[in-house]
Every structure is written in structure tokens, then in C-alpha cells.
Amino acid sequence: KRPAGAPDRNLARPVTKVGVVGAGLMASQLALLFARRLQVPVVMMDIDQERVDKGVGYVRAEVDKLLSKKRISADAANRAKALVTGSVSKQAFADADFVIEAVFEELAVKKQVFAEVEAIVSPECILATNTSSLSVTAMADGLRHPERLLGFHFFNPVAVMPLLEVVRAPQTDDAVLATAFELAKALKKTAVLVKDAPAFVVNRILLRLMGEVIAAFDEGTPPDVADSALRPMGLPMSPFTLSAMVGLPVAQHVQESLHAGFGDRFPVSGNLKKLIDNGVKTLWVPGPDGVPVIP
């Protein structure tokens, strides 16, 4: 059955090579997923060799983990490793037909990335953003082919989270959208078509909970108390563990986008900004015997 809002699948185009802009954690997880599920070459690109090597190293280590758990065969492991390569040049995307970015959550940075990628790829190449909260419409603005851009938003950890938010901007072409839905199926993700609204659907809802937890922290409730209080609610991960996994700066960016779009319904935590400015990575870390410790 075709997902709600998905165009005719006959419009979908084949994807034979994927480019990933960025080689950070999210980008590396995406590279591995695309290589394993599509069995096509995936090239990860970042600004220096050290970052690229780190990303490719992450992919190899994750493949080795799957192999040691006997989740994949030795052949499949070798294939996946061979399919993922790294580059410091966007020229490596010249023959890609799908390029996804997972770089810093700032509109100007992402626009610059897409302008540079567009100068290299073919006019048919699809451009996707993994942004968790920024406007896809604003990102397409100024592109030579704005109809080829869409949001393709994965959740952390990419290997296990089943959902994928597909974001249509006003100019997104039906063939681009159809390709995205076919791709989602091949990646074994459940794709939902969402409107281009601040933080889309999932993060908008998630930030209600996370935002209130952070607000309680701002008002003086210690993180471990809030964490213990929420545990009986059956969440797969406490809000604090989750904020550490996605990264406090990402949580802050989502808060800011929601605040910009919806005003006081989504207040921005001054305390969170202070912690990030001071280099704090997590609101608490598990200490001995799992007892939370405030860093």
C-alpha cells in the first residue's frame, strides 16, 4: 500500500550512487545504512582528511560489530566496507544520483553546501537534507533546481529507529518524492510525509517532553530526580540519556527552531545554552551501578 501522500511509484528514478555530506556520527550512520540496504557505492565527504577517516573508521567498526554478533556474513561485511569510501572533495559526488547532507544545523551552512554540490552533480541528482528542524523551503530557496530538494529526516540511532520523515517543500517534484519513498522502502524504514513546519512532527512532540524536563532542571530539579520520576512511564530512554545521544546542541537547535516558529509555546532554555557554551555534553552521566552523576 502506498503511504499517504506518496506519488505514483512509477515516477521513481534508480539510485546507483549516494553522496553523504559530512562524516560525523549521523552522516556515518547514514552511509552505513545506504551501503548495506542499497548495495551501491556511498561516498562520504567532509572538510578534512581526519574527519573523513574518522567517519569511514566508524562505518568499519560498526560492520565489525555486526559481524561479531553474527548479524551479517563475512562476505556482506566485506562488501559493505568496500562500498563506503571517503573524500575531501565534492567532486566525488559528480556521478551520484542522491546526495544527502548531515552537516551542522545552520541554514546558511546547509545552503552553502547545496550550492556547492549543485555545481558538481547532474541536474537530475536528488538533494536531501537530514535537518531535524530547519525549513526545507528556505534551504531550496536560491538553488538552480529547487524542485530536486526534499527533507529526509532519520532518527538516532539510525540502524534501529524505524521512522523516516519525508519533507516536501512547495517546489519538490513528484518524481523526487516518489524516488524518496522507494528509497525508504529499500532502506527498510517507515516513511511518513510531513509538512515543512518547524521541527516537522516528531521533534515537535518530543521537544514538548524534553523542553519540560529541561525547564524543570532550569527551575532547580536535579536531573537524576527528574530522570527517576520519568522511568516508570516506560520510555525506551530517559530524556537525559536521549539528549546526550542526540547531543545537547542539536536539542538546543530544535528548541530554537520551534521557538522561532511557535513563539512562547516553545521557550528556549537559557540554562541549556549556558551548559553548551561551557562544553557540557550531557545533563548527567551514569556513574557506578547506574546511579546518575551530574557532570
The catalytic site residues sit at 153
For helices 248-262 and 239-246, angle between their N-to-C axes, nearest 10 degrees: 100
Give the binding range for ligand CAA (CB under 6 A) out of 48-56, 156-164, 226-234, 256-264.
156-164
**Residue 71 sits in the site that holds ligand CAA (CB under 6 A):** yes
**Residue 282 sits in the site that holds ligand CAA (CB under 6 A):** no
Contact assessment for residue 258 and residue 192, using Cβ atoms and an 8 Å cutoff: no
Give the binding range for ligand CAA (CB under 6 A) out of 115-123, 186-194, 234-242, 268-276.
234-242
Q: Pick one of 28, 135, 203, 269: the residue that binds ligand CAA (CB under 6 A).
A: 203
CB of 139 to ligand CAA, least distance (A): 15
Q: Which is nearer to ligand CAA, 47 or 237 (CB)?
A: 237
3-class secondary-structure state, position 222: coil
Q: Cα separation of 181 and 34, whole Å? A: 14
Contact assessment for residue 120 and residue 93, using Cβ atoms and an 8 Å cutoff: yes
Q: Which is nearer to ligand CAA, 152 or 155 (CB)?
A: 155
Q: Which is nearer to ligand CAA, 90 or 204 (CB)?
A: 204
CB of 36 to ligand CAA, least distance (A): 12
Q: Cα separation of 53 and 62, whole Å? A: 14
Give the binding range for ligand CAA (CB under 6 A) out of 89-97, 138-146, 152-160, 213-221.
152-160
Q: Which residue's beta carbon is nearest to the bound ligand CAA?
A: 132
Separation of CA 94 from chain center: 23
Q: Which is nearer to ligand CAA, 32 or 83 (CB)?
A: 32
Q: Torsions phi, psi of 191, nearest 5? A: -90, 135
**Residue 72 sits in the site that holds ligand CAA (CB under 6 A):** no
CB of 30 to ligand CAA, least distance (A): 12
Contact assessment for residue 181 and residue 9, using Cβ atoms and an 8 Å cutoff: yes
Q: Scanning the structure block, which residue is given the C-alpha cell 524542485?
A: 147
Q: Which is nearer to ligand CAA, 11 or 197 (CB)?
A: 197
Among residue numbers 247 through 276, which ones bind ligand CAA (CB under 6 A)?
250
In 69-188, which residue ranges form alpha helices assigned H by DSSP? Answer: 74-83, 107-118, 136-140, 174-186
- Cα dihedral 218, 257, 175, 154, rounded to 10, equals -20
Q: Torsions phi, psi of 132, nearest 5? A: -95, -10
Which residues sit at the interface with ligand CAA, rule CB under 6 A?
69, 71, 132, 155-157, 159-161, 203, 206, 236-237, 242, 246, 250
